Structure 1
Amino acid sequence: MASGVAVCDEVKNLYDTMKVVHNEDKPEDRVRLAIFKIVKNNEVIEISKKYTQKDLGDSTPFSIFCQEMDECPCFYALYDCHFETESHVEKDELIFITWTSDAGAIKNKMLYSSSKEQLKKCFQGVKHTMQLNDRSDWSKKTIAEKLQDKNSLRVAKIDNVPI
């Protein structure tokens, strides 16, 4: 099912920036979480907010995502998840997330669901995707399970916080 919603170029450029880390990039300037929303009369997916490591301060992308869930019933997100395995290997991988709250309007939920593939095409190479419909779907344990599906490694910490 196609929705006719387009993805703006800034979203594509941000994805390219998030997926490739250059040696000269400062860790505090890396975008760790980006929120995307459908705007302009339901015609375009644009960047709503983006959080660099510097913007997060003492917070984690996980906690900021929880705040976003409380504020908005539907959005997409790209989460640069930093994790450590039980064998002390540090990794970071992008997770593409669709949040359509059960409490959201049916029309909005349908629009976000039908537009997801359009955005996903722009995010070629993202290893992990998650569909969240309820706040209980979002936990560090759920993220660890998603990361382990592809890695056969056991995740011990996410964003330096033990699971």
Structure 2
Amino acid sequence: MASGVAVSDECIRVYDEIKMGHQWLYIIYRVSEDLRTIIVEEKAGHDKTYQDFVARLKQAEAKRQCRYAVFDVRFIQNDVPQERLAFFLWSPDMATIKQKMIYTSSKQALRNKMRGIHAEIQCTEDSDLTMSNILERICSKYT
């Protein structure tokens, strides 16, 4: 908690739901308005898509804000279905300096509560969010 921003209990509970039961496709986290706590902004079921996830991050960008997220990435590797959790720090170029500083300095407090993340992806622009980039990052850990 180097930045003084705490992680809410709900963040850990919802993360455990995606990790253990694959209950959600993705979770988006944000820092509360008072800048004291990381909270769950959205948890999305499997009726959503990766494009929906990206669109939600882009909504934060339009407000000049950053976000954290976890996405349950599903893919086929060597003819075997795989599921891996990817952690995102969305820190778009358009975000305010204050947002970037708070999210960067608070990231580790959230990450320390999340065991089982297979890839950590810092994104600053649209090209960082392409599924091919995400799969490359996840699969590179196993080759």
TM-score by length of 1: 0.81
Which of residues 130, 134, 137 is equivalent to 1:143?
A: 134
- Which of 1 and 2 has greater Rg? 1
TM-score by length of 2: 0.92
Partner of 1:38: 31
Unaligned runs of 5+ in 1: 22-26, 153-163
**Structure 2 CA distance for aligned equivalents of residues 143 and 51 of structure 1:** 19
1:124 paired to 2:112 = no
Question: What is the aligned residue count?
Answer: 139
1:15 Cα deviation from its structure 2 partner: 1.1
**Structure 2 CA distance for aligned equivalents of residues 83 and 132 of structure 1:** 21
Unaligned runs of 5+ in 2: none
My pick for the range that moved more, 105-114 or 122-131, is 122-131
Matches within 5 A, 1:11-160: 11-21=11-21, 30-54=23-47, 56=48, 60=49, 62-73=50-61, 74-85=66-77, 87-152=78-143
**Structure 2 CA distance for aligned equivalents of residues 5 and 92 of structure 1:** 30
Task: Provide the identity percentage.
Answer: 31
Per-residue CA deviation, residues 10-50 of structure 1 (Å, 9 max, x unaligned), is 110111111113xxxxx7xx201110000041000000011
RMSD in angstroms over aligned alpha carbons?
1.4
1:95 Cα deviation from its structure 2 partner: 0.5
**Structure 2 CA distance for aligned equivalents of residues 89 and 151 of structure 1:** 14
Tell me which stretches of 4 or more aligned residues in structure 1 moved more than 3 Å.
Answer: none
**Structure 1 CA distance for aligned equivalents of residues 97 and 120 of structure 2:** 22
1:149 Cα deviation from its structure 2 partner: 1.4
1:69 Cα deviation from its structure 2 partner: 2.3
Where 1:125 maps in the other structure, the secondary structure is: coil
